[in-house]
Structure 1
Amino acid sequence: MIEIERKFLVKSNAYKQSANKSIHIIQGFLNTDPNRTVRIRIKGEQAFITVKGKSNDTGTSRFEWEKNIPVEDAKNLIEICEQGVIKKIRYEIPSGDHVFEVDEFFDENQGLIIAEIELQDENEAFDKPNWLGDEVTGDPKYYNSQLSKLPFRNW
């Protein structure tokens, strides 16, 4: 499956007023090679293993494969992940025909808030809420796999 998404910085907390859901996420990476990242994620009461391929030239599209796994297995796998487990709260904000996922990071990435929107096509139009800041699509330093190695606090 090909994932098409764009990423933006968030310039205010106004998104929280429109959020219809929030969930705690803990994730680690078994592999952070940009050609094939392998992520373990615990999202609320569910857990997943995800493999992502290399991004295209614009950074908007890449292969993604994801499967549910038992939460206990995910906890054990996070123990052997590369250094830099990420903790965040994800807020879901409806916007027109789309949903923004806004991640508020903690620990070493405290202060960083990123919004993502998944699209059907790279050129698909979407509404841009007033809390949306600069676009960072394709900037590797904002990939979670890179934030686990070089956290926002150390920039």
Structure 2
Amino acid sequence: MRYEVERKFLVAHEEWRAGAVSRRRLTDGLVGEFAGGKVRVRLDDERAWLTVKGRRDGLARPEFEYEIPRPDAEAMLSLVCETCLIEKTRHCVPHAGLTWSVDEYAGALTGMILAEVELEHEAQAVALPGWLGREITTDQRFRQSTLLRLAREAGRPVTLTEVLSARL
């Protein structure tokens, strides 16, 4: 069984762009949520996969990924996840031996930019890039399902200020 160990941050400014070495468009659909976990379908230009993530314990959570046929993913996105879609461009930005994922959201979350880094273990030392803002790893307001709900309730993309002032 694989555990995902990651830290998430707000992005303070645009300096990360100069270090980006690649990018790819992603579409995520929330299939369902359960006891602190979720099931999502993800599609990029080359592949499609289903991911099951368990409840977070500190920085870690169990994660299971299964590649699926592209037509199945497209059908799930349109038939099962139509109101729970996340569109983003993921930029890969190397820094101090780690690769940071900077997600620039579109659609219902246009304007939101978040960064994350996957670690080998929770105690791993991390040199934080200067373009990071505050850490949001355990902040429930930045769960994708919460961001989508806030955007649906507003009827438009939500701003960072609105997310930070949201009461859960």
Q: Same fold (TM over 0.5)?
A: yes
Deviation at 1:34, TM superposition (A): 4.5
Q: What is the rounded CA distance, in whole Å, between the counterparts of 2:51 and 2:31 in structure 1?
A: 10
Q: What is the rounded CA distance, in whole Å, between the counterparts of 1:18 and 1:153 in structure 2?
A: 27
**Percent of aligned positions with the same letter in both sequences?**
34
Question: TM-score under structure 2 normalisation?
Answer: 0.85
Tell me if the contact between 1:32 and 1:146 (Cα under 8 Å) persists in the aligned partners: no
Report how many residues are paired. Answer: 153
Deviation at 1:33, TM superposition (A): 2.9
Matches within 5 A, 1:28-47: 28-47=29-48
Residue 65 and residue 87 in structure 1: after superposition, are their counterparts in 2 closer, same or farther (change >3 A)?
A: same
Q: What is the rounded CA distance, in whole Å, between the counterparts of 1:97 and 1:21 in structure 2?
A: 16
User: 1:40-87: per-residue Cα shift (whole Å, max 9, x none)?
Assistant: 00022211100000111x3x1101000111111100011212622110
Matches within 5 A, 1:98-117: 98-117=98-117
Structure 1 unaligned blocks of 5 or more = none
Question: TM-score under structure 1 normalisation?
Answer: 0.91
2:117 matched to 1:122? no
Q: Find the counterpart in structure 2 of residue 51 from structure 1.
A: 52
Deviation at 1:32, TM superposition (A): 2.4
Structure 2 unaligned blocks of 5 or more = 152-156, 163-168
Larger displacement relative to structure 2 (60-69 or 141-150): 141-150
Letter paired with 2:74: K
Give the secondary structure class of the aligned counterpart of 2:51.
Answer: strand
Q: What is the rounded CA distance, in whole Å, between the counterparts of 2:146 and 2:26 in structure 1?
A: 17
Q: What is the rounded CA distance, in whole Å, between the counterparts of 2:82 and 2:51 in structure 1?
A: 15
Letter paired with 2:77: I
Which of 155, 158, 167 is 1:153 aligned to? 158
Q: Which has the higher strand share?
A: 1
Deviation at 1:125, TM superposition (A): 0.8
Q: Which has the higher helix share?
A: 2
Structure ranking higher on relative contact order (CA contacts 8 Å, 6+ apart)? 1
Superposition RMSD in Å: 1.5
Larger displacement relative to structure 2 (140-149 or 112-121): 140-149
Matches within 5 A, 1:64-103: 64-79=63-78, 80-81=80-81, 83-103=83-103
